[in-house]
Structure 1
Amino acid sequence: MEYYQMTGFMGQPDPCAPLTDPFPNPKRASLFLDFDGTLVDIADRPDGIAIPDRVPSLLDRAMERLDGRVALVSGRSVEALENFLPGFEGTLIGTHGAEMRQGGEHVTLSDYDTDTVRRLTRLVNDFARLRPEFLVEPKPSGVVLHFRQAEAQSALALRFMESLAMAADGFRLQPALMAYEIKPEDVGKDIALARLLEDQAFDGTTPIFAGDDLTDEPALQLVLDRGGTAVKIGQAETVAPVRLPKPADLLDRLEEWLA
């Protein structure tokens, strides 16, 4: 049993309800999108995703209609997002909110201990060399252990990553879909979004956020608290009142909205 099931975050999947609530008028909206599992389908490996042909043009149209009020909010690094979407000129919030690119400027949003990150990454890499069924994903502010290829070993992954996180001051364990991540305590997509919504360009707008993972739930709640629209992709339990089955359905809905 995985961590999010044991702690009650996710139970039996509910059928996906259609998105019936209208999105706000683009003239007064801001759009925030997770990446993996939201804009693109989840792959077996982080480097194995495929970008649908319509995603870059759809993001360009959103930037035009919303006067630039579009941000990708991802667990991936800003550098990785730039590599996948080199033409996107909007805001990038990476590594769950530890870093951001806005207006071409790269900034760090968390004062984490880089030495601790290096030690954690080394230890997780050593573990994965002993257990090659696991996949390690280093990040600027932490490290992820994926068990998508070893679901039966999820408890082992949890015990190992939990013990490392407990011994690392200033860091915590973040459960995700088929993965466990260790990241700084003061990092979260909701924290980064709250900061961005204070920016002059975004202030006073009605936020929309779409995400698929447990890591997106705090940001979905933040958007609801701000009177916005929260959209869950997939069947996991969520605070979002509306949901869509898969990324392609979100792309369809966005194309409708931006037409």
Structure 2
Amino acid sequence: MLDPLPHRPDLDAPSVPTDATVSLFFDLDGTLIDLAARPDAVVVSAALLAALARLSARRPGRVAILSGRSIAQLDDLLGPFARSVAVAGSHGAERRAPAAAAIAATVPPALAAAHADLAAVADRHGLLLERKSLGTALHFRDTPALEGVADDAARDVAHRHGLVLQRGKMMVEVRAPGDKGAALTALLATPAMAGTRPLFFGDDVTDEDGFVAAYDAGGAGVLVGPPRITAARHRLPDPAAVRAWIERAGGDA
């Protein structure tokens, strides 16, 4: 990941774009929806899906979801809406344009062995294990004292199997290569988004590549959560503020 760009100690909220020159990219967990103790316990409300549909109708082809979850998980959580917008899953390793087939990354052969190694660690220490299409995560939200155990294990497994180590909020993941910045750049080249400026909303260190890519493309990142060192140029305090922003941005659809 690139070094953060210079920024003010705190950042202003992004204004709502009033023209067709902006494309909007959203992370899911911790950005559009609130984090939960377990990844399978998150809730995507009907109100949020309706607001996203209005936003997408006002900006056809210029709304996308970029997530660490797989595209299959996004389909389960977002329902038919997921097919109406561009999505990038598994930290950008897989992409899909609206109503098109997914572009999936090759599954590294070492991923199964890495999952088995991390499953053994999870069983031994009581950590929560999450298997994804292109990675495996150890969550320690309920056992924060085990952060070091999870981090050491994931770092060792990633090194031994030639995979990517990804740290996030109260979790660490071993996964296939991919980053949200590359996915954002690829989606910006699609006809609907070509020539637009991107705004990318994200909450985690896993979103920093996307913030840098958005800035490099003439747009900006929007950090969701408390202030920290970041490449984002704007900030909103929490997912509720993001949802309110989306309501305003899609209000005229």
Does TM-score exceed 0.5, indicating one fold?
yes
Quick one: distance in 1 between partners of 2:202 and 2:185? 16
Q: Does 1:172 align with 2:172?
A: no
Runs of 4+ in structure 1 over 2 Å off: 14-18, 21-26, 103-112
Pick aligned residue for 2:204 from 213, 216, 219: 213
Quick one: distance in 2 between partners of 1:102 and 1:146? 30
Contact 1:231 1:243 in 2 (8 A): yes
Deviations 1:131-174 (A, max 9, x none): 22x111111111111111111111111111101111112x1211
Residues 226 and 107 of structure 1: is their aligned pair in 2 closer, same or farther, counting only changes over 3 Å? Answer: same
Pick aligned residue for 1:248 from 233, 240, 245: 240
- Percent of residue pairs bearing the same amino acid type: 33
Q: Does 1:41 align with 2:34?
A: yes
Unaligned runs of 5+ in 2: none
Pick aligned residue for 2:90 from 90, 95, 104: 95
Pick aligned residue for 1:108 from 103, 116, 125: 103
Shift of 1:26: 4.1
Contact 2:52 2:250 in 1 (8 A): no
Q: Alignment length, in residue pairs?
A: 243
In structure 2, what residue type is equivalent to 1:118?
A
Quick one: distance in 1 between partners of 2:147 and 2:15? 39
Unaligned runs of 5+ in 1: 1-7
Contact 2:131 2:137 in 1 (8 A): yes
- Look up the SS of the partner of 1:204 in the other structure: coil
Contact 2:71 2:94 in 1 (8 A): yes
Contact 1:56 1:87 in 2 (8 A): no
- Look up the SS of the partner of 2:189 in the other structure: coil
- Look up the SS of the partner of 2:88 in the other structure: strand
Contact 1:27 1:65 in 2 (8 A): no
In structure 2, what residue type is equivalent to 1:130?
R
Q: How does 1:1-259 map to 2 (within 5 A)?
A: 17-19=11-13, 21-88=14-81, 89-113=84-108, 115-132=109-126, 134-169=127-162, 171-185=163-177, 187-235=178-226, 236-259=228-251
Contact 1:143 1:182 in 2 (8 A): yes
Deviations 1:81-114 (A, max 9, x none): 111111211111111111122233333343341x
Quick one: distance in 2 between partners of 1:96 and 1:106? 18
Quick one: distance in 1 between partners of 2:220 and 2:94? 24
In structure 2, what residue type is equivalent to 1:196?
L
Q: Could you state the TM-score of these two structures normalised by the residue count of structure 2?
A: 0.90
